[in-house]
Amino acid sequence: MTYWLGVLVQTCIYMIAIIGVSILSGFCGLFTLGHAGFMAIGAYTSAIVVNTFDVPIFVGLLAGMLLSTLLGLLIGAPTLRINGDYFIIATMGIGEAIYLLSQYLIPVTGGPYGYMDFHSFRGMEALFYVVPILIVVIVVTYFFIKSKHGRNIVALRENEMAALTVGINVYRYKMISMGYSCALCGLAGGLLAHYMTNVNPAMFTSTKSNDLVIAVVLGGRGSLTGAIIAAMILTPLPELLRFSSAQEWRLIMYGLTIVLVILFRPTGLYGDREFSISGLAKWIKRHSQRLMKRGEN
Amino acid sequence: MSTVALGLYNVCKSFGGLKASNNINIEVLEHEIYGIIGPNGAGKTTLFNLITGVIAPTSGTIRIYDKDITNLAPDKICGVGIARTFQNIRLFNAVSVLENLMIACQQTIHYSALDGCLRTPRFRREEKAAQEKCMAILEKFNLLQYKDVAAGKLPYGSQRRVEIMRAIMTNPRVVLLDEPAAGMNEEETATLAEMIRMLQKEYNLTIVVIDHHMDLIMEICDRLTVINFGEQLMTGTPEQAQSDQKVIDAYLGVDDE
């Protein structure tokens, strides 16, 4: 039972990170291959701050969020000014750099063995942190993307030139998306640290960075609902496949699932729409009508 | 003498050795509908790109009312009161028509990101005002039934209208229309002419139109400028242009004999 609760906690944590990357890659259209690095910043910062200054966990989480955001903006400041693929290369570089630093900066990070013995969640405590934070993140992000600022971010994904001519400061909104995504990844990293009770470099490899973007693409670029569903499927998937005879095949099944979705739902599971009660009602009505017609024939 | 809404003074733009605009002088008066015509490749769109700050002029000055906008960034130029449409339509294709217009309202919406995230009363008030404004213009353009359709899925003619509406939603003083009648038949062009006149009156605009449809230009423009190979051939009324020998030569070619 505790094992499945653990899977639940991890799903919630990764959902926060995926929602962050969704703002940057899904809504703003800027792909990133290094956001696990920002999770690492959040994780190490939170663990170190809590351990060194003996402050409550949420102070550590805030510190992790802040540092991760600042670093993200620092990387974004020069690379988001120029068009092209420079930004994606920069994110890749920073992800890799953070990974290597965490491995070799042994006095600070503890090296490959990881940073441990800091104040962490005890048992169920993790759920009481993670679930409320996740709910706040979802609600705030939903409000954000449905506001003027969210619309501007989508506008520059859709057509940068047109966005400029309606007076949108493209650079500023790219920086806002970058800051937002780094803040959420930092937060997720911090939560992960206090849940795992140990932070080590292997938790934040480039594979993890890729997983985040894959989740966004699978969910549907520009859909918060899609990001949430993708997180619910992809995070527990490797765990579900851990059991039965699927054991050795689990990574292959994981890859296969992704290929199938890309083949049959190229716009992602949820496209760029959002879940709504009225939308669900319409969907049910349409499909029930279709079923009735089939019945008549 | 009425005020000059948009002024180009000795504007030049070269791309390497090519002179896309050579010493252009245009004064568009307030509330005028002004035409810019010329054969393909004459440098008409370049002129619009210069005015909207997409490219910087090599030399010369561009003014809107009393403000020098020569080297302003495109997003700042929108704030000064210039809006444009594009020759090849540029909409926010994946989002709905209503949202396209709401995006264009962004300059008149002032709430902060925090207001947006927390849905404060200020957010609700400003959002409602913008939405009402967008609905009103949708109704005027008879596109209300398409408000929730993704802009990219609309038929071509409607997309053009959405682009014009989007330009109006930025609260401009001067609107630049780049080939609004491209791909339209006679009947549609006539409707468009009527619409441009209606817009000019309704929103007190100054409008600059580039187009190849001579009947549109001749019908709606108070004055016009003809350009060819970046050179300004003449400026005057449509009647003057029709009888100008240089203009006729540019369009029909010169007899070599």
% of chain B residues with pLDDT over 90: 49
Helix (H) or strand (E) holding A272: none
Q: Is B99 on the interface with A (CB under 8 A)?
A: yes
CB contact under 8 A, A147 and B113: yes
Alpha helices in chain B (DSSP H): 44-51, 74-80, 97-104, 113-118, 121-140, 156-169, 186-203, 214-220, 238-243, 245-252
Helix, strand, coil % in chain A, rounded to nearest 5? 80, 0, 20
Q: By mean pLDDT, which of A80-84, A204-208, B22-26, B101-105 is the weakest?
A: A80-84
Per residue, the 3-state secondary structure of A48-75, as one string, reads: HHHHHHCCCHHHHHHHHHHHHHHHHHHH
User: Do the beta carbons of residue B153 and residue B89 sit within 8 Å?
Assistant: no
CB contact under 8 A, A150 and B116: yes
What is the average per-residue pLDDT within A175-182?
A: 96
Q: Is A161 on the interface with B (CB under 8 A)?
A: yes
Residue contacts between A and B (CB atoms, under 8 Å): 96
Measured in degrees and rounded to the nearest 5, phi and psi for residue A221 equal -70, 125
Measured in degrees and rounded to the nearest 5, phi and psi for residue B83 equal -125, 155
CB contact under 8 A, B109 and A148: yes
| Model pLDDT, residue A235 | 85
CB contact under 8 A, B74 and A158: no
Nearest Cα neighbor of B159 from B51, B212, B242, B86 is B86
| Model pLDDT, residue B244 | 83
pLDDT band at A245 (very low <50, low <70, confident <90, very high): low
| Model pLDDT, residue B196 | 92
CA distance B218 to B230: 22
Distance between first and last Cα of chain B: 45
DSSP B2: P
pLDDT band at B242 (very low <50, low <70, confident <90, very high): confident
Q: Which CATH class is domain A2-235+267-296?
A: mainly alpha
| Model pLDDT, residue A297 | 63
Interface predicted TM-score (ipTM) of this complex, two decimals: 0.88
The sign of the CA dihedral A65, A69, A71, A75 is: positive
User: Do the beta carbons of residue B152 and residue B99 sit within 8 Å?
Assistant: no
Nearest to A143 among B76, B83, B117 (CB): B117
Contacts of B119 in chain A (CB under 8 A): 143
Q: Is A286 on the interface with B (CB under 8 A)?
A: no
Can you list the pairs that A270-279 forms with residues at least 24 positions away whose Cβ atoms lie under 8 Å? A270/A219, A270/A220, A270/A223, A270/A225, A270/A226, A270/A229, A271/A220, A271/A223, A271/A226, A272/A220, A272/A221, A272/A222, A272/A223, A272/B94, A272/B95, A273/A220, A273/A223, A273/A225, A274/A142, A274/A223, A274/A224, A274/A225, A275/A225
pLDDT at residue B190 greater than cutoff 70: yes
Which position has the higher pLDDT, A150 or A294?
A150
Q: Angle at Cα B246 formed by Cα B243 and Cα B251, nearest 5°? A: 85
Contacts of B166 in chain A (CB under 8 A): 162, 166
Q: Is A137 on the interface with B (CB under 8 A)?
A: no
Nearest to B74 among A148, A149, A165 (CB): A165
User: Do the beta carbons of residue B173 and residue B207 sit within 8 Å?
Assistant: no
Measured in degrees and rounded to the nearest 5, phi and psi for residue A200 equal -135, 160
Residue B130 to chain A, least CA–CA distance (Å): 10
Q: Where are the domains of chain A?
A: 2-235+267-296
Closest CA in chain B for residue A161: B90
CA distance A137 to A183: 11
Domains in chain B (CATH in brackets) are 1-81+172-257 (3.40.50.300), 90-171 (no CATH)
Nearest Cα neighbor of A270 from A242, A231, A237, A236 is A231
Interface mutation vs chain B, best among A27, A144, A151, most B CBs within 10 Å: A151
Q: By mean pLDDT, which of A243-247, B80-84, B168-172, B225-229 is the weakest?
A: A243-247
DSSP A22: I
| Model pLDDT, residue B1 | 56
What is the average per-residue pLDDT within B207-227?
A: 89
3-state secondary structure of A183: helix
DSSP B3: P
Contacts of B171 in chain A (CB under 8 A): none
Contacts of A222 in chain B (CB under 8 A): 94
Query: For residue B37, how far is the Cα from the chain centroid?
Result: 14
Q: By mean pLDDT, which of A4-8, A57-61, A258-262, B216-220 is the weakest?
A: A258-262
pLDDT band at A234 (very low <50, low <70, confident <90, very high): confident
Q: Which of A34-48, A252-266, B145-159 has the highest mean pLDDT?
A: A34-48
Q: By mean pLDDT, which of B49-53, B134-138, B193-197, B230-234 is the weakest?
A: B230-234
Contacts of B83 in chain A (CB under 8 A): 165-166
pLDDT band at B62 (very low <50, low <70, confident <90, very high): very high
Which position has the higher pLDDT, A207 or B98?
B98
User: Do the beta carbons of residue B165 and residue B101 sit within 8 Å?
Assistant: yes
Closest CA in chain A for residue B54: A161
CB contact under 8 A, A166 and B103: yes
What is the average per-residue pLDDT within A24-28?
A: 92
| Model pLDDT, residue A247 | 60
pLDDT at residue B255 greater than cutoff 70: no
Residue B191 to chain A, least CA–CA distance (Å): 25
pLDDT band at A228 (very low <50, low <70, confident <90, very high): very high
Nearest to A148 among B52, B79, B111 (CB): B111
CB contact under 8 A, B86 and A161: yes
Contacts of A155 in chain B (CB under 8 A): 92, 95, 103
| Model pLDDT, residue A250 | 66
Q: Which of A63-67, B192-196, B219-223 has the highest mean pLDDT?
A: A63-67
% of chain B residues with pLDDT over 70: 98
% of chain A residues with pLDDT over 70: 95
Nearest to B93 among A147, A158, A161 (CB): A158
Nearest Cα neighbor of A27 from A292, A195, A274 is A274
Which position has the higher pLDDT, B25 or B255?
B25
Closest CA in chain A for residue B79: A167
| Model pLDDT, residue B2 | 80
CB contact under 8 A, B92 and A154: yes
CA distance B84 to A165: 7
Interface mutation vs chain A, best among B45, B49, B92, most A CBs within 10 Å: B92
CB contact under 8 A, B166 and A149: no
pLDDT band at A24 (very low <50, low <70, confident <90, very high): very high
Which position has the higher pLDDT, A241 or B29?
B29
What is the average per-residue pLDDT within A48-67?
A: 94
Which position has the higher pLDDT, A248 or A52?
A52
Nearest to B84 among A140, A143, A165 (CB): A165
Tens-place pLDDT, residues A116-149: 888 888 878 888 899 999 999 999 999 999 999 9
| Model pLDDT, residue A110 | 86
Which position has the higher pLDDT, B205 or A259?
B205
